[in-house]
């Protein structure tokens, strides 16, 4: 091989190596970005799920504890689904708080106890895929919340008024 030919060969090998390095750099940068996005997405999803669970379970538990002191706690079946009903009297007027599952969310409605229950007049608490509540022996209430990811969380609550 002539001197010029060898020089051209070395030149092209050098160029290919340089381009390979640039390519490697680009691929690694892309990979890191993808891993970062996935890690961030996973963290956000878990946090979101955590918030859903905390918001639903803790909120309902606090409502039951509040109602345990001041009023009557009941469970009613409306449209085939169970619903937590907390009745209370404010300035001689009777009111009811309904906590129930409707349209992909756990919802709450506060209305005059004499009014007919309508889920349209309610506020969304948190996204969920199911909510179930039942009364057990010894003054226990058992509630079950399914998150939108399909995870089930349940809590038993003792009604202190009935102990």
Partner 1 sequence: MMHQGRRNILLIELIIVILFFSLSAVVTLQVFAKAHQRTAQSKLITQALIAAEDWAEQVCVSDDPAAYLGQNGWTSADGASFQHKAFDLIDLTIEIHPEAREAGTYYRMQIQASDTLNGDVLTDMPISRYVPAEEGV
* Binding positions for partner 1, rule: CB under 8 A: 11, 14-15, 17-18, 21-22, 24-25, 28-29, 32, 35-36, 39-40, 42-43, 46-47, 49-50, 53-54, 57, 61, 138-140, 153-158, 163
Give 25 or 121: the residue with its C-beta nearer to partner 1.
25
Q: Decide the pairing of beta strands 93-102 and 81-90.
A: antiparallel
Asked if 67 contacts 50 with a C-beta cutoff of 8 angstroms, the reply is no
Calculate the CA dihedral of residues 74, 78, 80, 83 and round it to 10 degrees: -40
CB of 2 to partner 1, least distance (A): 18
For residue 119, give the H/E element and its range. none
CB of 131 to partner 1, least distance (A): 15
CB of 21 to partner 1, least distance (A): 5
CB of 36 to partner 1, least distance (A): 6
The angle at the Cα of 129, spanning 143 to 53, to the nearest 5 degrees, equals 60
Give 9 or 14: the residue with its C-beta nearer to partner 1.
14
Asked if 93 contacts 110 with a C-beta cutoff of 8 angstroms, the reply is no
Give 58 or 94: the residue with its C-beta nearer to partner 1.
58
Among candidates 142, 101, 143, which has minimal Cα distance to 124?
101
Give 47 or 70: the residue with its C-beta nearer to partner 1.
47
CB of 109 to partner 1, least distance (A): 25
Asked if 84 contacts 120 with a C-beta cutoff of 8 angstroms, the reply is no
Give 112 or 152: the residue with its C-beta nearer to partner 1.
152
């Amino acid at each position: 091989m002539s001197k010029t030919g060898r020089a051209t060969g070395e030149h092209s090998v050098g160029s290919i190596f340089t381009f390979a390095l640039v390519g490697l750099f680009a691929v690694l940068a892309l990979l890191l970005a993808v891993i970062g996005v996935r890690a961030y997405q996973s963290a956000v999803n878990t946090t979101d799920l955590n918030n859903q669970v905390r918001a639903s379970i803790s909120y309902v538990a606090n409502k039951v504890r509040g109602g345990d002191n001041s009023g009557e706690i009941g469970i009613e079946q409306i449209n085939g689904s169970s619903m937590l009903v907390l009745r209370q009297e404010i300035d001689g007027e009777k009111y009811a708080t309904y906590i129930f599952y409707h349209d992909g969310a756990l919802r709450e409605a506060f209305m005059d106890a004499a009014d007919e229950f309508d889920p349209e007049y309610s506020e969304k608490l948190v996204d969920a895929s199911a909510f179930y509540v039942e009364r057990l022996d010894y003054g226990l209430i058992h509630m079950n919340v399914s998150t939108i990811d399909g995870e089930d969380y349940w809590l038993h609550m003792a009604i202190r008024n009935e102990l």
